[in-house]
Amino acid sequence: MILSRRLHPPARRGRFNIIWKGSVPMLENDIQEILFSEEQLKARVAEIARQIEADYAGKEIMLISVLRGSFIFMADLCRAIHLPCTLDFMSVSSYGKSTTSSGQVQITKDLSEDITGRHVIVVEDILDSGNTLSYLLKILENRHPASIRLCTLLDKPERRVKPVEVHYTGFTIPDAFVVGYGLDYAERYRNLPYIGVLKPAVYGG
């Protein structure tokens, strides 16, 4: 997960409202509204997979997940793509403690595989300012892939500072703090099956 690339209030100790459904705790009381249901996410992922299949017909692709927020999205996406496909993972963060990205990237986990001559698709959870992601894409382009494209689950164009070419977009969303389907606040809510807006009271907003 790229840190500081979306509105991300500092973590604080506090109470999380847990609803127990059977033996699974759900943090649903902290959700202001559901933006995209489990069914909507599944359908959109399938549509993106068909787009990728059409664009890369007869080719093998390499999906690169930017940890941690995109891991569920990429897992669902790769299973929906009916092409030869390999996977790799990166973890990066912006320097400093600011809630806005500086655009400088520290790679905390690099790729395990060489991408030279490969058809790469970078899979991200949220694109907002574009600062950090544009820098990351330049790093990867310098490793000489055959091609490189960006696939983001969510796009916040209102927060864009630096232009980034997006080839595959799941949903365009307003400037709200969202969680679920891999996205977190203080490492919680990733396991929600939908994407929802977190109540400001939870993070002191």
Active site residues: 128
Please count the CA atoms within 13 angstroms of the CA of 54 that sit on its side-chain side. Answer: 8
Instruction: Name the residue with tokens 């820098």.
Output: 135
The neighbouring-strand residues paired with 196 are: 34, 179
- Report which DSSP code applies to 3: T
Question: Is the distance from CB of 108 to CB of 84 less than 8 angstroms?
Answer: no
Burial of 26 (0-12, 13-18, 19+ CB in 10 A): middle
Question: Is the distance from CB of 118 to CB of 144 less than 8 angstroms?
Answer: no
State which amino acid sits at residue 128: D
State which amino acid sits at residue 172: T
State which amino acid sits at residue 25: P
Instruction: Name the residue with tokens 């993106």.
Output: 48
